[in-house]
Structure 1
């Protein structure tokens, strides 16, 4: 099974995505609690910028913080990574590919079928990449979930890529 996903078609920059490295990405979403806590849209770029700015301000005013040596905290964070279910917002990848003006829809390409969704809806999709701490090897590399959780019980599986069309 191929573990690389592509975003291509009517984009300025076709990109390839490797979901196996997302466990280390700060943008990942804990899907065990996301749909229960989610009340509105998330803006990952704004959230990332806010966190980085806060960290920068802290280092300027207080100096660099010493490394966290608390073993209990590290063990807890490791446990979350090894047992959690995580996803990644699709929006940053779509933005990096820079859809052309004539692109109106995203075709979700799976090994079994193709499904078309408007670009606005595609920006709200979540790519689930792990279940209970394990990568999705059987029917992955990712499962596609809609932001509202409407297909949480029956996600789109076997996703191999995304093609933008007019």
Structure 2
């Protein structure tokens, strides 16, 4: 259930989407593709996720009902891609298949990591959604690695 970020980067990174449910940067799937004018944007860049913050019972119940995405920008920036990075391959676990996307689409994209409160065990560990939501009906599934070119 991990995802690797590697390739044309200074620091390869291993992501564990199973812990993102406790990360304040997560966004409800249905809210991720609302226009910026429709939502209140209080996110101002990289923030450390809370380490030992207590989760209320009400929050816990909400986590078990909703689907969540995680913005990719912070993770990609932490890997420090080289300046010439232009594309990325989303490597899936299906017979070495992959989808090539632009670097800009990658950093503006989202990973779905929780559907109806559950990890994506069957077709995960994550699904990729373009930031504009253009592939909401057909996200890239089974993603195991991001290789930045």
Same fold flag (TM > 0.5): yes
Which residue of 76, 79, 83 corresponds with 1:97? 79
| TM-score for both structures, normalised by structure 2 | 0.84
Deviations 1:75-95 (A, max 9, x none): 332221111100101111110
Q: CA–CA distance in 1 between the matches of 2:30 and 2:61?
A: 14
Task: Say yes or no: does 1:25 pair with 2:23.
Answer: yes
In our comparison, the structure showing a higher alpha carbon Rg is: 1
Contact 1:32–1:84 under 8 Å retained in 2 = no
Residue 76 of structure 1 aligns with which residue?
Answer: 58
Matched-pair contact (CA < 8 Å) for 2:45–2:74:
no
Question: What is the aligned partner in structure 1 of residue 102 from structure 2?
Answer: 118
When normalised by structure 1's length, the TM-score is: 0.76
Listed as ranges, the matches of 1:8-157 within 5 Å are 8-35=6-33, 37-39=34-36, 44-46=43-45, 48=47, 74-112=56-94, 113-157=97-141
Q: After TM superposition, which residue ranges in structure 1, 4 or more long, deviate above 2 angstroms?
A: 32-35, 37-40, 42-49, 73-76
For 1:43 and 1:98, the matched residues in 2 are separated by 24
**Matches of 1:89 and 1:158, distance apart in 2:** 17
For residues 121 and 58 of structure 2, the distance between their equivalents in structure 1, rounded to whole angstroms, comes to: 25
1:51-87, CA deviations, whole angstroms, 9 ceiling, x for partnerless residues?
A: xxxxxxxxxxxxxxxxx9xxxx933322211111001
Partner of 2:51: none
Sort the Cα spacing of 1:17 and 1:48 in 2 relative to 1 into closer, same or farther, 3 A.
closer
> Residue 120 of structure 1: CA displacement?
1.1
